[in-house]
Amino acid sequence: MPPGTLRVVDFQYGECHMPRFHNINGVKTQFSVDEESARDTEEAAFESGRAAMEARQEITRLESEITPRRLRDSVLTADGKTWLENKEKEIAVQRAKL
């Protein structure tokens, strides 16, 4: 990829490259190679943070399903116990993503 370009994937036409620009006081200036590299690093950090955020949201959702009634069922019935064990496994999968 040429320096100073942004990788864009268009699902209809495939991958293409676009240069990135600063707009300072109405003047467009193309990113330098160092600025491009720094921006790529920032975007990668954001994407890795996004995965962790989504995993935390899923953990919260799964834990909210474990209500007092579900806990009671897990003590009183075999099906309830199996359900709770499976829910804990799902939560463990999400925690492994963090």
Average pLDDT by consecutive 10-residue portion of the chain (98 residues)?
54 62 88 86 84 93 96 94 96 94
Q: Looking at this protein, which amino acid is placed at residue 78?
A: A
Task: Please tell me the distance from the alpha carbon of residue 57 to that of residue 86, in angstroms, as a whole number.
Answer: 18
List the chain domain ranges: 51-98
pLDDT of residue 31: 87
**Inter-residue contact 81 to 66 (CB < 8 Å):** no
Would you tell me how many other CB atoms lie within 10 Å of the CB of residue 58? 16
**Inter-residue contact 28 to 13 (CB < 8 Å):** no
Q: Tell me how far the alpha carbon of residue 46 is from its chain's centroid.
A: 8
pLDDT of residue 62: 96
pLDDT of residue 81: 95
**Inter-residue contact 16 to 8 (CB < 8 Å):** yes
pLDDT of residue 44: 83
